[in-house]
Amino acid sequence: MKFENQYKQLLMRCLLKGDEKKGRNGNTTSLFSENLKINLNEGFPIVTGKKIFFKKALGEFLWIWGGRTDIKFLNEYGIKWWDDYSKNGEVVKSYGYQVKNYNGEIDQIQLAFNELKNYSRRAVISLWNPSDIKDQALPCCYTQLIYNRVNDKLNLQVNFRSSDLFLGLPYDICVMALFLISMAKKLDLKPNILACNLTDAHIYDEHKNQVLEYYKRPNYTLPEFKDGKLENYKHGELIKAELIL
């Protein structure tokens, strides 16, 4: 099934069949254990029915992939949503730290790369580190990345403990697609399937009207990702809503 149709069906399934829950940041409608399986051969998986600021997704990817924790780098890409979670200009022991400096010593990207070179099924990147949670202003929402090599193709499964479906997930999918594309490039493989497993998939009450507005909009052909940029990204107008972390 095409990426954006899957995504829209997930949104409506959540609205129609989800359970009302009180969350840390407000009331939500929530589903347990949902998933998306996205074929990157159909194009780069960015939502087209509303505007997504790809530069921000790219900036967050580069921040994590590079093991960075500084807010200055994010701000250069127009990303402000981490500002409230920073201290002295740093987001302590969060995504980038766990990816490149797990327990102060392990570069998990290099570790996964080495495993995949040998066709291993142990190419796992862990972001949930119980020993560091006490130091984190916001524990990681996606907690594990598992790469899977099939001959000359590379797949990636991402496990989320929590997912804000309307605003957060579209950006997270872009970031995870870039994780898949970048690792595939390092290995001279073809990026293939991105699977997202969502433990708590939810829509905030204040986003419900915007979800319905987006659902009615047409989809456009997915763009291609080349040389660090999206080519032919056609999309609908921005739907204003506040990101809740």
Catalytically active residues are: 141
DSSP 3-state assignment of 229? strand
What number of other Cβ atoms are within 10 A of residue 135's Cβ?
12
CA 125, CA 97: separation in Å to the nearest integer? 12
Estimate the crossing angle of helix 208-215 against helix 3-17, to 10 degrees.
140
Structure-derived torsion over alpha carbons of residues 98, 100, 101, 102, reported in degrees to the nearest 10: 40
How many whole angstroms from its chain centre is CA 219?
A: 20
